[in-house]
Amino acid sequence: MCHAFLTDANFYRLLFEIDKSLAEEVRTRGCDCGGRLHSARYPRKPRGMRSALDASDESRLSFCCAQEGCRRRHTPASVRFLGRKVYLGVIVVLLTALQHGLTVQRRNRLIEALDVSPQTLWRWRCWWRERFVQSRCWRALAGQFIPPLVTDCLPGALLERLRGQDLSERLVELLVLLSPLTTTTGSLRVGDNPQRM
């Protein structure tokens, strides 16, 4: 395995810590109705690298307003779950970003290790090219890069402009930048078919 962090439980624990702090901001803010938020996690069964994951990765942090008559759902942004795709966000980003950056053999080994089908990879590539570039998140990001990012090379083009010292740090930075995509609570929704991604 050429990307050791992918099998390192500490890497996923770091992502979980970031998710917890994003969730804490939402919980502290409370509901618009003034109600308090109670934990109401969504069960998840993320695919790829199961051996490095633990029980904390089997749910998406989420809240429900405790106020009778409101009960509104508040799901914070996440650096772990990219929308409702069944693979963890880091895997979606990594495999599509490395499209041009690895030899065919190394890339195939990685795809095999992560058990991702060619159809799934294809859908992810379409998602970057067609859905992501229409999102508010992308429009906000795109203006910050000079020279402009080449949209055909997303997310790799974005990943290589970040400052992290190594690939895993840059991936975490990128997942943080993408996290607004992952919440519909007072934010945007990038239309995708949840079950097929």
Q: Which residues bind Zn ion (CB under 5 A)?
A: 31, 33, 35, 65, 67, 70, 72
- Report the distance separating Cα 20 and Cα 134, nearest Å: 28
**Structural element, H or E, at residue 112:** helix 104-114
- Residue nearer to Zn ion on the CB measure, 35 or 180: 35
Q: What angle do CA 82, 48, 55 make, to 5 degrees?
A: 80
Q: How far is the CB of 71 from Zn ion (least distance, A)?
A: 7
Q: Is 55 exposed, middle or buried (0-12, 13-18, 19+ CB in 10 A)?
A: exposed
Q: How far is the CB of 29 from Zn ion (least distance, A)?
A: 11
- Residue nearer to Zn ion on the CB measure, 67 or 151: 67
Q: Determine contact, residues 11/52, Cβ cutoff 8 Å.
A: yes
Q: How far is the CB of 31 from Zn ion (least distance, A)?
A: 3
Q: How far is the CB of 37 from Zn ion (least distance, A)?
A: 8
Written as six digits, the tokens of 185 are 């609570």
Q: In 3D, which of 84, 59, 93, 89 has the Cα closest to residue 190?
A: 84
- Residue nearer to Zn ion on the CB measure, 73 or 125: 73
Which residues 6+ apart lie within 8 Å of 96 measured at CB? 121, 124, 125, 128, 154, 155, 156
Q: What angle do CA 72, 42, 8 make, to 5 degrees?
A: 135
- Residue nearer to Zn ion on the CB measure, 72 or 129: 72
C-alpha count within 13 angstroms, C-beta hemisphere, residue 100: 9
- Residue nearer to Zn ion on the CB measure, 5 or 63: 63
- Residue nearer to Zn ion on the CB measure, 65 or 93: 65
